[in-house]
A and B are shown apart, each in its own frame.
Chain A
Amino acid sequence: MPKFTLYVNGKTHRLNVVADMPLLWVLRDELGYTGTKYGCGRGLCGACTIHVDGEATRACMTAVENLDGAEITTIESLSLDNSHPLQKAWIAEEAPQCGYCQSGQIMTAAALLKRNPNPDDADIDSAMKMNLCRCGTYGRVRKAIHRATEDNG
């Protein structure tokens, strides 16, 4: 079986997995990063959003063979103590309901804020519209993103 090297949240992992295994299952089943969620397996819901070399990426659609040597960031590395401005804002707005899609929402928002530190509603909608939430937290997600940018000054 092929060997790959992944850099996940600043740690180096050597993996013996099939080449077509999506990063989602590498993270969840092989490495135990279960914060990244399975929702559709076809890049349609955004629950598995992570960052590859800083870009928001669907982990369910990205085979490990295309990631050899890439820098991967998951929800777990934003901060475990919830000190990241997005996490603080999410908590302040009580954004999550069931919470299942929220890792993906937050990771997409984090990539948005990197590109555009002061998004308006239209920017937020355009960046976030591929992240589905069945509980309907969209209104609070919008508010939380605005709040995070305000906290950043």
Chain B
Amino acid sequence: MRQVLSRRDFIKISSTAGAGLMIGITLPYKDRLVAAGVVEQTFEPNVWVSIHPDNTITIMAAKSEMGQHIRTSLPMIVAEELEADWSQVKVAQADAHPDKYGSQGTGGSGSIRRSFTRLRKAGATAREMLVQAGADKWDVSKAECIAEKGKILHVSSGKTFTFGELAEAASKLPAPEDPLLKNPRDFKLIGNSMPGLDTPSRVNGTAQFGMDIQVPNMVYAAVLRCPTFGGKIKSFKSQKTKKVNGIIDTFEIDDGIAIVGKNTWAVIKGQRALDVNWDHGDFANWNSKQIRDMMEKKGAGKAIVAREDGTVVNVKNDQIISAQYEVPFTHHATMEPMNCVVHVKKNTCEIWAPTQVPQRIQTTAAKYLGMDVKNITVHVTLLGGGFGRRLWADFVTDALQVSKRTKKPVKLVWTREDDIAHDFFRPTSIHKLQGSLSKKTVNLWKHRVVAPSISGQMAPERFKNGRLDRSAVNGASNLPYAIPNVLVDYVMTNTEVPVGWWRSVYNSQNAFANEGFIDELAEAAGKDSFQFRLDLLKDSPRHMGVLKLAAEKAGWGKKLGKDNGMGIAVHESFGSWAAMVAEVTVGEKGTLKIDKITSAIDCGLVINPDGVKAQMESAIVYGLTSTLKGEITIEKGAVVQSNFHDFELLRIDEMPKVNVYIVKSAEPPGGAGEPGLPPVAPAVANAVFAATGKRIRRLPIKPEDLI
């Protein structure tokens, strides 16, 4: 007997299986059915696809959704090979699992490019088994049948079965070892802009972020940390906190003092009322200027070579140009501050987290609690922005300690002030550049990157013997320009300020330096900065492709007003190429308006064009914030900024006109989330130069840089 599950049953079952509000993300579909004792005849040829007897298809997303629409584009890849009808497709979010889905880490603009082939195979496997099941039922050869729009068709007779009707039969067949993949020419979904599967829930308040999770008997917690990096608690008085209505308890944890209460407001007030005597530690003597001085000093010393081409000394008769570029610490500032819900039980633990690293959270919890990973369940909620911040598990460690002690499910909420003060900041950096021109062509390029190292801070022992942190020179060591003599080296300048991966990581700084300085060389050579680049990129067709496309669409070289300027930049990162032309207006009093950004991206084969376009728009706005605002400064060893009044983001009235052009390509897919960011700052800086004759070598751009 076939049992078809109605939507209402589905919700009922999911409600009994877990927390009521967690419909759709509590447990994988199959587990819910099994838990409810429903006989199920779902066809599950692999972990990615489940075809249900009611003809719906659930496709598993094992990457985190933080606005990049991967919960739409990943299922598109499976559905394409499966020949599913898109209206049948639902997406489910995978809980953390050590190995079932491979890496669930979401970062490095890697969700599509690292899953593309695997997901195609998953869809193709299911399709071939369904075709076989149909052929068996009709007693015809497999070659006579095809899959089309969620059905198996016997071509000559026109007879069809829905996928759902074949689910049971297909589930009894062996999986083909090497399923045939479609010819990309025949793609129907891939290459089309599909509506975001999560978009409806994001416009009516039903989208469930970590912050929205509620489970029965839950308590709330905030944590007060020492504002100074490396500081500790000497002592604290909690009498005032305990008087706050709704406070349950206050106690010390590893990274600060936890305040536990009956609602969020109680713990926020309780946090404010705490009276702490901090041991601020040695770093309390540091400020931004001292950090910069230290970097300057170290930057003049010994460096580790990252790339050396030709000889870098034979430039005696050349024209030498030198410049220094600088970039500050900056912040991720996800709109949803750090949070999670954790329930430590006797032998198990259940976690709901907006995280880019479900598996890291699982292992962190297992280690902390001394449990096996299989006893740690991690549900991944929607993320209110990630940008690299949610690659860390620090907020979960807080909550684990509170839940273990209170023996209750705990919702841990960071205030915006906590979030600003305790980020893993995009590293500040200094870039010392030197170039030489021989007969107006570039003979030498030297780029010294001076910056804190993310890896070096995480694992200092790995870098003790002068090993290079390759990521710190990403975007610097792979300079694309055909220059005979190149030296790129790196000086590590770590401090107590925590540093981390931020959208495009070191590419953001290195592209600013590269693309600003190549403009300076073009100027010195008396050449047009677009043509100058093209001449040096003859062996880099994909750089040239995006550069030409952006320049053409922007109308490079067109006549502009006296206060206007146009600047160009190109950069490769995360397997994709992006170029931008910025148009700006600079007012007499140093006002800077970004009028228009024309951008081009070559990210290989495009799955969901509107998704790529949205990611470019997003990277441009994110990049503009760090170009124009968004500076984190340090005083007395702590972050000066505290909320959006002094850590400002770009606003709608500052939003330029943005055009995105996508290069048509059949190359393997590249990344889309980050590659649009690195060219933004240099394109704007170069446009400012075109408008004013003033070189911008330090971010963010300030009015005094323009007058």
Binding site for B on A (CB under 8 A): 1, 18, 21-22, 25, 28-30, 32-42, 44-45, 47, 74-76, 78-80, 82, 86-87, 90-91, 94-103, 106, 124-126, 128-142
Contact = CB atoms under 8 A, between A and B. Distances in A.
Q: Considering the complex of A and B, which 8 residue pairs feature the smallest CB-CB distances, nearest first?
A: A35-B205, A136-B621, A100-B384, A99-B202, A98-B67, A97-B67, A125-B653, A75-B205
B313 interface: no
Contacts of B434: none
A21 B264 CA distance: 10
A37 B384 contact: yes
Nearest to A92: B195
30 contacts: A28-B264, A35-B205, A39-B337, A42-B416, A42-B643, A44-B645, A45-B644, A80-B206, A91-B195, A94-B195, A94-B196, A96-B67, A98-B66, A98-B67, A98-B382, A100-B335, A100-B385, A101-B335, A125-B652, A131-B652, A133-B621, A134-B385, A135-B335, A136-B622, A136-B655, A137-B614, A138-B652, A140-B617, A142-B652, A142-B655
B620 interface: yes
B622 A79 contact: no
B649 A132 contact: yes
A104 to B, nearest CB: 9
Given A1-B245, A18-B246, A82 B200 contact: yes
Nearest to A122: B653
Contacts of A142: 652, 655
- Chain A contact residues: helix, strand, loop or mixed: loop
Contact of A136 (B199, B384, B617): B617
A47 B610 contact: no
Given A33-B205, A37-B384, A38-B211, A97 B614 contact: yes
Contacts of A130: 651
Interface of B: 21, 66-69, 193, 195-196, 198-209, 211-212, 214, 220, 245-246, 263-266, 268, 333-337, 382-387, 413, 415-416, 610, 614, 617-622, 643-645, 649-653, 655, 657-658
Nearest to B383: A98
B560 to A, nearest CB: 22
A128 B67 CA distance: 20
Given A34-B205, A78-B204, A134 B196 contact: no
Given A32-B214, A44-B645, A136-B620, A98 B335 contact: yes
Contacts of B200: 82, 91
- Chain B contact residues: helix, strand, loop or mixed: loop
A99 B67 contact: yes
Nearest to B415: A41
A135 B618 CA distance: 5
Given A29-B265, A98-B67, A136-B618, 9 more contacts: A32-B21, A44-B645, A47-B335, A87-B203, A91-B203, A97-B69, A99-B67, A99-B209, A133-B652
Given A98-B383, A128-B652, A134 B333 contact: yes
B207 A99 contact: yes
B649 to A, nearest CB: 5
A25 B204 contact: no
Contact of A37 (B196, B211, B655): B211
Contacts of B620: 136
Contact of A25 (B207, B264, B653): B264
Contacts of A32: 21, 214
A40 B383 CA distance: 17
B204 A87 contact: yes
A87 B204 CA distance: 7
Contacts of B335: 37, 39, 45, 47, 98, 100-101, 132-135
Nearest to B644: A44
Contacts of B650: 136, 138
Given A45-B644, A135-B385, A94 B263 contact: no
Contacts of A132: 335, 644, 649, 651
A134 B265 contact: no
Contact of A100 (B246, B336, B655): B336
B653 A102 contact: no
Max chain B Cβ within 10 angstroms of own Cβ: one of A18, A28, A34, A137: A34
A135 B67 contact: yes
A32 B20 CA distance: 12
A78 B203 CA distance: 9
Contacts of A102: 202-203
A99 B652 contact: no
B91 to A, nearest CB: 15
A74 B205 CA distance: 9
Contacts of B333: 134
Nearest to A74: B205
Contacts of B416: 39-42, 45
A128 B652 CA distance: 7
A38 B264 contact: yes
Max chain B Cβ within 10 angstroms of own Cβ: one of A18, A95, A128, A134: A134
Max chain B Cβ within 10 angstroms of own Cβ: one of A21, A90, A96: A96
Contacts of A98: 66-67, 334-336, 382-386
B617 A106 contact: no
Contacts of A35: 204-206
A97 B66 CA distance: 7
Nearest to B616: A136
Contact of A82 (B196, B203, B382, B652): B203
B204 A75 contact: yes
Contact of A41 (B204, B205, B268): B268
Contacts of A135: 67, 335, 385, 618, 621-622
Contacts of A137: 614, 617-618
Nearest to B387: A134
A86 B644 CA distance: 27
A100 B204 contact: no
A96 B203 contact: yes
A76 B204 contact: yes
Contact of B334 (A126, A131, A134): A134
B331 to A, nearest CB: 10
B618 to A, nearest CB: 4
Nearest to A26: B265
A21 B413 CA distance: 16
A94 B197 CA distance: 10
Nearest to A64: B265
Nearest to B646: A44
Contacts of A99: 67, 198, 201-203, 207, 209, 382, 384
Given A37-B211, A96-B196, A136-B622, A129 B205 contact: no
A64 B201 CA distance: 28
A94 to B, nearest CB: 6
B199 A94 contact: yes
